[in-house]
């Protein structure tokens, strides 16, 4: 599949990395020569220096064989224009990154479709949705639902007091007669796919797939009982915090701390039941004066990653139960469990994974990126008879770097064993590390 990506920044580079590992033919366009040289040194992609909104440049690349054109620069207008041109010149599908959330309204989407922009995505909106999801299940560091909640993917840190500490995967799979499926373990910077003899240690970060009705029981068993979130402090009054606050302010006590006076006035105009404080978000004394120690959750979304991390750690030390830090540097997402921040989110990764589902082979229903893990959880639908439906799972020759976590069959959720046989219309949730993604795609194509 030939895919053209306009914009080699955080989202574009992450997409190029994922797609090139899946053996797609990738063309990366950017106006910055240094960005392209870095991509050439680290990825197997073709690079083109220039403006993606240039008709001549797009003609030179030849859009006719292009399956997907992705415009993910930081300039919304350039993204929209380049998608419109690429579609007119023959690209089969176009996706544009936008910054103005109001452009996501249904009637505007229809207009974009008519012009030639098939999909529009907003990294800020996706990040705010991620925050809301994490607050709904406050004990976990990651939370993702498949099939409208039939299956839940959650991440949990193993503590000394946990009944799972010192147990093997085989022992916990049927602990107290309840079946849970661990699909990945993050130990320091190492990703481990759990096998029956894998021993869990204190500090391991473990990811489970389970039916939604089993989540509370799993959390209680593992030593993470529910805790209600009532009061939330955001630092950074941007689109992310404003969008999240609009959804949350009627059910939670929300405080937003923002330094810019103009931005504060905009927040006051847009929000009805949120306390807006004008002040320096990095001033910890100010945060304490505004009630930090009484907060149940602290969410740092300023433009400065280091400020977000440090203030989150301070909030943790002040006794705040849940901390979430927005970071720009992709490397930071791997270290949060080691330094004490509950969850770090990166809107570029969130956006890239949201886009990624549109470029997959096979019928992809959903895709999730695990916190700190170099892998993806992908939900495939089996839509035809194939070797998938003719033999037991253990005989499918699934790559060693992939694992089937759950199968959704109608209204039922099945945690499959090696003897399990897949059927047409089953929805299969698979964790695959980067080296295995291409082989898994071929299997489910």
**Confidence class of residue 288 from pLDDT cuts 50, 70 and 90?**
very high
Query: Looking at residues 175-184, what average pLDDT do you find?
Result: 69
The pLDDT value recorded for residue 204 is 84
d(CA 351, CA 356): 8
Minimum mean pLDDT range among 216-225, 241-250, 379-388: 216-225
Alpha-carbon distance 185 to 113, whole Å? 41
Please write the tens of the pLDDT for every residue from 233-267.
999 999 999 999 999 999 999 999 999 999 999 99
Is 351 part of a structural domain of the chain?
Answer: no
8 and 82 within one domain: yes
* 245 lies in the same domain as 213: no
Confirm whether 354 is domain-assigned: no
Q: Where in 212-279 does DSSP place strands (E)? A: 231-235, 253-258, 274-278
Last residue of a domain, one of 222, 239, 256: 222
Q: Is residue 139 part of a domain?
A: no
First to last CA, the chain: 13
User: Is 107 domain-assigned?
Assistant: yes
The tally of CA atoms less than 13 A away on the side-chain side of residue 75 is 13
- In angstroms, the CA 349 to CA 42 distance is 18
Do the domain assignments include residue 203?
A: yes
242 and 182 part of one domain: no
- pLDDT on residue 77: 94
pLDDT band (50, 70, 90) for residue 93: very high
The pTM (predicted TM-score) of the whole model is 0.81
Q: What is the mean pLDDT of residues 170-188?
A: 74
Provide the token pair at 364. Answer: 């992809």
The predicted pLDDT at position 83 comes to: 97
Tell me the C-alpha distance between 138 and 323, whole Å: 9
Q: What is the pLDDT of residue 175?
A: 65
The domain that holds 156 is classified in CATH as 3.30.70.1450
Q: Let me know whether 54 and 110 are in one domain.
A: yes
- 178 in the same domain as 69: no
The contacts of residue 75 (CB under 8 Å, 6+ apart) are none
Q: Is the pLDDT of residue 361 over 60?
A: no
- Asked if 51 and 66 sit in the same domain, the reply is yes
Domain that holds residue 383: 375-444
Check whether residue 237 and residue 209 sit in a common domain. no
Average pLDDT score over residue span 364-381? 76
Do residue 34 and residue 111 come from a single domain?
Answer: yes
- Cα distances from 72 to residues 8, 30, 202, 222, 343, in angstroms, run 8, 10, 40, 40, 25
Beta partners for 326? 345
Residue 110 has pLDDT above 90, yes or no: no
Residue 109 included in any domain? yes
User: 392 in a domain, yes or no?
Assistant: yes
Q: State mean pLDDT over 269-278.
A: 95
> For the chain, what is the domain count?
4
Question: By the 8 A CB rule, do 261 and 237 touch?
Answer: no
pLDDT for 335 equals 63
Domain with residue 294: its CATH number is 3.40.50.720
Residue 233 has what pLDDT?
97
Claim to verify: residue 242 and residue 318 sit in the same structural domain? yes
Q: How far is CA 209 from the centre of its chain?
A: 16
Question: What pLDDT was estimated at residue 41?
Answer: 93
Please check whether residues 45 and 78 belong to one and the same domain: yes
Residues 235 and 326 in one domain: yes
According to DSSP, residue 342 is labeled: S
Q: For residue range 117-155, what is the model confidence (pLDDT) as tens digits? A: 999 999 999 999 889 988 887 878 888 888 777 888 888
Q: Which of 331, 358, 386 is the last residue of a domain?
A: 331
Domain endpoint, select from 172, 191, 222: 222
Sorting pLDDT into bands at 50, 70 and 90, what band is 209? confident
Q: At what angle do helices 10-21 and 347-356 cross, to 10 degrees?
A: 40
What's the rounded mean pLDDT across residues 7-36?
Answer: 88
Rg of the chain over all Cα atoms, to the nearest angstrom: 22
Within a domain: residue 361? no
- Nearest-angstrom CA–CA distance, 225 and 138: 10
58-67, 134-143, 296-305, range with the lowest pLDDT: 134-143
Q: Which residue has the higher pLDDT, 396 or 5?
A: 5
**Distant-in-sequence, close-in-space partners of 140: CB < 8 Å, separation ≥ 6:** 134, 154, 155, 156, 219, 224
Residue 231, CB-side half-sphere exposure with 13 Å CA sphere: 11
Q: How confident is the model at residue 336 (pLDDT cuts 50, 70, 90)?
A: low
Structure-model confidence comparison of residues 294 and 412, the more confident one: 294
Q: Does 218 share its domain with 245? A: no
Smallest CA-to-CA distance from 299 within 271, 277, 266, 324 is with 324
């Amino acid at each position: 599949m030939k895919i053209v990506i306009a914009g080699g920044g955080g989202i574009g580079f992450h997409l190029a990395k994922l797609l090139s590992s899946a053996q797609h033919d990738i063309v990366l366009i950017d106006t910055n020569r240094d960005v392209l040289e870095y991509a050439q040194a680290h990825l197997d992609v073709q690079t083109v220096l220039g403006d993606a909104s240039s008709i001549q440049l797009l003609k030179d690349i030849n859009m006719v064989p292009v399956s997907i054109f992705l415009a993910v620069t930081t300039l919304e207008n350039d993204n929209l224009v380049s998608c419109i041109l690429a579609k007119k010149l023959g690209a089969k599908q176009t996706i544009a990154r936008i910054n103005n959330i109001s452009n996501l309204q249904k009637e505007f989407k229809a207009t974009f479709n008519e012009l030639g922009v098939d999909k529009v995505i907003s990294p800020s909106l996706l990040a705010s949705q991620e925050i809301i999801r994490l607050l709904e299940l406050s004990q976990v560091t990651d939370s993702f639902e498949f099939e409208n909640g039939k299956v839940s993917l959650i991440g949990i840190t193993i503590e000394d007091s946990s009944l799972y500490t010192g147990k093997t995967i085989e022992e916990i799979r049927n602990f107290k007669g309840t079946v849970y499926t661990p699909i990945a373990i993050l130990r320091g910077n190492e990703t481990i796919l759990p096998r029956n003899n894998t021993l869990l240690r204190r500090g391991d970060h473990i990811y489970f797939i389970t039916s939604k009705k089993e989540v509370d029981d799993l959390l209680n068993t593992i030593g993470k009982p529910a805790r209600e979130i009532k009061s939330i402090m955001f630092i950074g009054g941007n689109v992310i915090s404003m969008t999240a606050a609009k959804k949350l302010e009627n059910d939670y006590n929300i405080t937003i701390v923002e330094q810019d006076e103009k931005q504060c006035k905009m927040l006051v105009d847009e929000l009805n039941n949120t306390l807006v404080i004008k002040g320096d978000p990095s001033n910890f004394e100010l945060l304490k004066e505004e009630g930090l120690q009484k907060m149940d959750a602290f969410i740092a979304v300023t433009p400065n990653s280091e400020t977000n991390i440090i203030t989150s750690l301070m909030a943790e030390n002040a006794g705040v139960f849940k901390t979430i830090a927005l970071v720009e540097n992709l490397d930071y997402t791997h270290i949060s469990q080691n330094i004490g921040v509950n969850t770090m989110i990166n809107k570029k990764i969130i956006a890239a994974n949201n886009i990624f589902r549109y470029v997959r082979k096979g019928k992809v229903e959903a895709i999730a990126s695990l916190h700190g893990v170099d892998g993806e959880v992908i939900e495939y639908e089996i839509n035809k008879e194939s070797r998938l439906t003719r033999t037991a799972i253990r005989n499918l020759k699934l790559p060693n770097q992939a694992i089937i976590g759950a199968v959704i069959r109608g209204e039922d959720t099945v945690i499959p064993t090696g003897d399990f046989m897949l059927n047409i219309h089953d929805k299969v949730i698979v964790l695959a590390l980067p080296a295995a993604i291409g082989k898994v795609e071929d299997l489910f194509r």
